[in-house]
Amino acid sequence: MSKVVLERVQAKFGAQVLETQSFRGDDTIVVARESWHDVAAFLRDDAVTDMAMFIDITAVDWPERAAEEAEEEGVPGAGKRFDLVLHLYSLGKGHRVRLKTRLADGEQPATVSDLWAAANWFEREVWDMFGIKFAGHPDMRRLLMYEEFEGHALRKDYAADRAQPLVPYRNTPDVLDKQAPFRADEGMPFGRRDWQPRDHAWTALDTETADRPLGEAVIVNPDNRRPS
Amino acid sequence: MEPTDYDIDESELDLPTEPMRLAMGPSHPAMHGTIRMMVECDGEMLTKVDVEMGFLHRGFEKMCERGTWAQCFPYTDRLNYVSPMLCNVGFAHAVEKLADIEITERCKWYRVVLGELARITDHLTCNAAMAMELGAFTPFLWMVRAREHIWDLLEEETGARLTHSFARIGGMAKPPTPLLKARLGEVIPAVRSIIDESMKLLLKNRIFLDRMQGVGVMSAAEAVQWGWTGPTLRSTGVAYDVRKAHPYLVYDQLDFDVPVGERGDNYDRYLVRNEEMYQSLRMLEQCVQKMPDDGPINVADRPEIVLPEKKDVYTTIEGTIQHFKLVMEGAKIPAGEVYGFTEGGNGELGFYIVSDGTGTPYRVRIRPPCVFVLQSFPRMIRGHMIADVVPTFGSVNMIGGECDR
């Protein structure tokens, strides 16, 4: 890893860099939450740092540290509970850096998925596992767990043997167009004849064209036609 | 019954098309069991794809926070279950980096031997499954036969065919068996000839080529943007291999090439994996020549971390106490955080580990290389046919255990 990156970021951002450290060959930069996205963008675009490759984003939960900080300040919940950890790599230069910021519970860092497409799912995973939401993320769904999962599993106060409630039949909107995939009245009939009463456009087509000779089919919904 | 053989050209038939939504997986033979894709197709062409993972999530990272550092090894076996030894070695590598342990020379060679064997089984499985899903069953059976040779050898060395749990912090569970080099001398040519044969079966097959070439194309710039590593990144022409770029173990003493593709399609991914198997065999041949035949396998000067020899445990009180404390309390890895990375079967396999100085890991985070490729799957497949999902998904080499953790 490279000290050059640390110096470069310190020179550029000054007081926004809270801390830098080098340990076992890994270089770490700790920045304030407000400059999280700026520093990440700088690391990617600067000619010296050149961090084109996103390696990983994850978090670490430090509830005891947060409790101590909150006690010092006298404000409950003021402690910075989470470390948000971003690893970056430069394919051209061959150096790596670890960018960290500290977050209180409920604070929202800016997403970096606009800088690296790869960050999209991993920020979803951080939300899923730690309950950290990213401001400006295009699709803040859970990644590994399901929608109805209660709590965030990698927080230290989530007991590893905790049982989850049973999930009733799901009526949440689906992801593709915010509609459940196969409601009783949509989709295509599987047979040639449709035995179920339907209120869908296909039914209209079927009944209206039942007596028509082929070749005079009615276009029910012109918007859905394949562009020619 | 209405006639069905009417002439479309003569009748000005304009049938309305509605987008059809299909759920592929999680119980779909081509989805390898643990993934769901909601696809929307216009005719046979895919217009929208949403990939949903997590069906095999077992809480690897949470489980690691419960036991000792040594107890994480069985979990790492179950990450990438077609090359468990690489995950074993990768995790040991990260912990040794945090504890600042320099492992012995013989152990480095041994890890390279076992790791490269595992890499061959990984690529064999991927290519074989991909061919089988396209209907080529014979190459699948042949490649699995080659895999058997390697698994037999790994079983002789480690005692288990698949879930070895063989690496230890600061060494390996056992030293190499005396027959290792002789058996490698038998296995290497056998595996090589089988790979040759299976390539001959596939590379002149019109169906195979048509379904692989030009499908699932990814450019180098986009692959980097999506965080690809490993064979999939190299198939786009970027020669990034951790073994070359940041040599660990003894890879700097081995002579091998990094194969790259040109177009980044399924065919290139297949070819890169094939060539990597040849390179691994080449490395194994050099290991047979260069690996020392004797010498310690475990680090001797770190008794607070490395288990003592069984002989000492049963005959000396110091050994007994050391063994007891290491098993009951766990090795006290110094407080701190590191990111240790090795070249796994699918790419850069990283472990970000945090220790607070007690015997229990504070945080173990794995960087799963195949998630990055899977994440860009909608981008690769959009505009292709439904049938193209099968070879493209095969060439991604999504491993459920590693992907969902």
Is the predicted pLDDT of residue A129 greater than 80, yes or no?
Answer: yes
Q: For all residues of chain B together, what is the average pLDDT?
A: 86
* H-helix segments, chain A: 3-13, 36-45, 63-73, 119-130, 201-208
Residue A145 in domain: no
Cβ proximity of B396 and B226 under 8 Å: no
For residue A168, being part of any structural domain is answered with: no
A57 with A40: CB under 8 angstroms? no
Report if residue A152 sits inside a domain: no
- Answer yes or no: do A85 and A189 share one domain: no
pLDDT confidence tier of residue B92, bands split at 50, 70 and 90:
very high
pLDDT tens digit sequence for B279-295: 999 999 999 998 888 88
Domain boundary, last residue among A98, A130, A162: A130
Dihedral angle of Cα B194, B196, B197, B199, to the nearest 10 degrees:
120
| pLDDT score of B338 | 92
Same domain? A126 vs A181: no
Residue A206: what residue type? D
Q: What is the mean pLDDT of residues A3-27?
A: 81
Instruction: Please say if the pLDDT value at position A45 is more than 90.
Output: no
| Least confident piece of the model among B48-52, B277-281, B347-351 | B48-52
Last residue of a domain, one of A130, A164, A196: A130
> What CATH code is carried by the domain that includes residue A22?
3.30.460.80
Average pLDDT over residues B3-14: 55
A227 & A126 share domain: no
Predicted confidence (pLDDT) at residue A217 exceeds the cutoff of 60: no
Residue A57 confidence (pLDDT): 92
B371 and chain A in contact, CB less than 8 A = yes
Token readout for A18 is: 């809270």
Greatest mean pLDDT among A167-176, B9-18, B217-226 lies in B217-226
pLDDT at A126: 92
- A100: domain range? 3-130
Are the CB atoms for B49 and A176 separated by under 8 Å? no
Measured between CA atoms, how close is B225 to chain A, in angstroms?
Answer: 6
Q: A222: Cβ–Cβ under 8 A, 6 or more apart, which residues?
A: B16
CA distance A178 to A17: 42
* B residues 156-175 closer than 8 Å to A (CB): none
Mean pLDDT of chain A: 75
- What is the structure's pLDDT at A172? 54
The reply to whether A162 falls in a domain is no
Q: Which of A60, A142, A176 sits opposite B48 (nearest CB)?
A: A176
| pLDDT at residue A176 in the model | 54
B14: contact with A, CB 8 A cutoff: yes
Q: Which pLDDT belongs to residue A84?
A: 92
pLDDT tens for residues B107-126?
999 999 999 999 999 999 98
Q: Tens digit of pLDDT for each residue in B161-172?
A: 888 889 888 888
- What pLDDT, in 10s, does the model give residues A72-125? 877 776 778 899 999 999 888 888 889 999 888 888 899 998 888 889 899 999
Total number of domains constituting chain A: 2
Same domain, A189 and A118: no
pLDDT value at position A197? 46
Q: Tell me the β-bridge partners of B52.
A: B36
Domain membership flag for residue A23: yes
**Which residues have a Cβ under 8 Å from the Cβ of B272 and sit 6 or more positions away?**
B231, B234, B235, B259, B260, B261
Mean pLDDT along residues B186-193: 92
The pair of three-digit structure tokens given for residue A74, joined into one six-digit string: 């006298």
Q: Are residues A115 and A183 in the same domain?
A: no
Taking 70 as the threshold, does the pLDDT of residue B75 lie above it?
A: yes
- Among A44-48, B23-27, B113-117, name the most confident range: B113-117
Q: Is residue A154 part of a domain?
A: no
Least confident window among A54-58, B7-11, B248-252: B7-11
Are A183 and A84 in the same domain?
no
* Domain assignment of residue A203, yes or no: yes
Confidence (pTM): 0.82
**Among A6, A35, A227, A173, which residue's Cα sits nearest to residue A112?**
A35
B43 versus B1: the higher-pLDDT residue is B43
Q: Give the rounded percent of residues in chain B with a pLDDT score beyond 70.
A: 95
- A-contacting residues in B 329-348 (Cβ below 8 Å): 336-339, 348
Q: Is B29 or B264 the better-scoring residue by pLDDT? A: B264
Say whether both A109 and A202 belong to one domain.
no
Q: Output the pLDDT for position A163.
A: 79
Of the residues B45, B47, B337, B354, the best mutation for testing chain A's interface (the one with the most A CB atoms within 10 Å of its CB) is: B337
Q: Does one domain contain both A126 and A182?
A: no
**What pLDDT, on the 0 to 100 scale, is given for residue A219?**
42
What confidence category does residue B211 fall into, taking pLDDT thresholds of 50, 70 and 90? confident
Q: What is the mean pLDDT of residues B395-400?
A: 84
pLDDT band at residue B353 using 50, 70 and 90 as cut-offs:
very high
- Whether residue B55 is predicted with pLDDT greater than 50 in this model: the reply is yes
In a domain? residue A65: yes
Domains of chain B: 51-403 (1.10.645.10)
Above 60 in pLDDT, residue B304?
A: yes
Name the residue type at position B203: L
Over residues B49-64, mean pLDDT: 86
> Which of A60, A96, A176 shows the shortest C-beta gap to B363?
A60
Please indicate, yes or no, whether residues A88 and A17 belong to a single structural domain of this protein: yes
B chain contacts of residue A217, beta-carbon cutoff 8 Å: 13-16
Residue written as token pair 């074989």: B128
Nearest-neighbour CA in chain B from A155: distance (Å): 9
Closest chain B residue to A159, measured at CA: B62
Q: Do both A113 and A13 map to the same domain?
A: yes
Q: What's residue A77's pLDDT?
A: 66
Task: Quote the CA–CA distance of B32 and B64 in Å, as a whole number.
Answer: 26
Per-residue pLDDT at B69 exceeds 80? yes
Please give the average per-residue pLDDT across B379-400, as a whole number.
85
Q: Report the DSSP beta bridge partners of residue A59.
A: A84
Nearest 5 degrees, angle CA B297-CA B61-CA B347? Answer: 65
pLDDT at A196: 45
Query: Which secondary structure element, helix H or strand E, spans residue B320, and what is its range?
Result: helix B317-328
The answer to whether residue A183 scores a pLDDT higher than 50 is no
Beta-bridge partners for A100: A30, A85
Question: In chain B, what residues touch A176 (CB-CB under 8 Å)?
Answer: 21, 38, 40, 48, 50
Distance of residue B161 Cα from the nearest chain A Cα, in angstroms: 29
Chain A residues lying within 8 Å of B47, measured CB to CB: none
Q: For residue B161, give Cα distances in angstroms to B98, B166, B297.
A: 30, 11, 21
Residues A9 and A116 in one domain: yes
If asked whether residues A121 and A11 sit together in one domain, one would say yes
Domain boundary residue among A71, A104, A130?
Answer: A130
